[in-house]
Chains A and B, each alone.
Chain A
Amino acid sequence: GEDVEQSLFLSVREGDSSVINCTYTDSSSTYLYWYKQEPGAGLQLLTYIFSNMDMKQDQRLTVLLNKKDKHLSLRIADTQTGDSAIYFCAESRDTGRRALTFGSGTRLQVQP
């Protein structure tokens, strides 16, 4: 199976909270990242969390990490139409290969 899994689609109303989930399989993951991609653009780093942390908050963004269950979530408070994009979860591992492993992305649609 995939190393990093995400649901494909999430639809919310403007002003509501969005929660995007991600599961990963490698217990050696050191950092976990959330990236945002708008249509036709590159990836924008939103936030990241070190594997020994449970939670990280940055303005409207809250990242929760359950290391036991290998589950990561991104909560966006007061979701706006400008938050509509694809959100990628990614993990890095402290092994010989220094690159990120990405999920397939969750498309967030914000309805006015």
Chain B
Amino acid sequence: DGGITQSPKYLFRKEGQNVTLSCEQNLNHDAMYWYRQDPGQGLRLIYYSQIVNDFQKGDIAEGYSVSREKKESFPLTVTSAQKNPTAFYLCASSKAGVGTDTQYFGPGTRLTVL
């Protein structure tokens, strides 16, 4: 089955720790995205990558980092510099990274800071 997987589904972090959220896709999509969702709000873009070894900051990149070493994988690290990291994180991918390409989403990771 083709799709996007995210792991873990739930993640708990102590203050001051870095954590990495996994996102993998087997859709052969070039572009991948990370969004953050807070209760009662829409999705906000953290980082995106249109091609391997290249990525760009979104609207709320501070306190986050990413890498894109493989086409299939786009991990997101939430660093201790992120002041309010508790949220639902969604990964998405699209075919060619152009504005008209449809984005498909993974099931999400819920991060809670203890």
Q: Which A positions have Cβ atoms within 8 angstroms of B?
A: 4, 8, 30-31, 33, 35, 40-45, 48, 50, 88, 92-95, 97-100, 102-105
Bound complex: CA A59 to CA B50 (Å): 33
Given contacts A99-B45, A104-B41, contact A42 B105 (CB under 8 A): yes
Q: Knowing that A42-B108, A92-B99, A100-B43 are A-B contacts, what are 8 other residue pairs whose CB atoms are under 8 Å apart, sorted by A's residue number?
A: A33-B102, A43-B43, A43-B105, A88-B42, A95-B99, A98-B50, A102-B44, A105-B41
Residues in B lying within 8 Å of A, measured CB to CB: 4, 6, 31, 33, 35, 40-45, 48, 50, 56, 58, 90, 92, 94, 97-108, 110
Give the residues in chain A near B110, CB-CB below 8 Å.
40
- Pairs of residues from A and B, 6 with the lowest C-beta to C-beta distance, nearest first: A102-B42, A42-B105, A43-B105, A92-B99, A104-B42, A102-B43
Closest to A94 in B: B99
Question: Which of B40, B103, B106 sits near A100, CB closer than 8 Å?
Answer: B103
Shortest CB distance B10–A (Å): 10
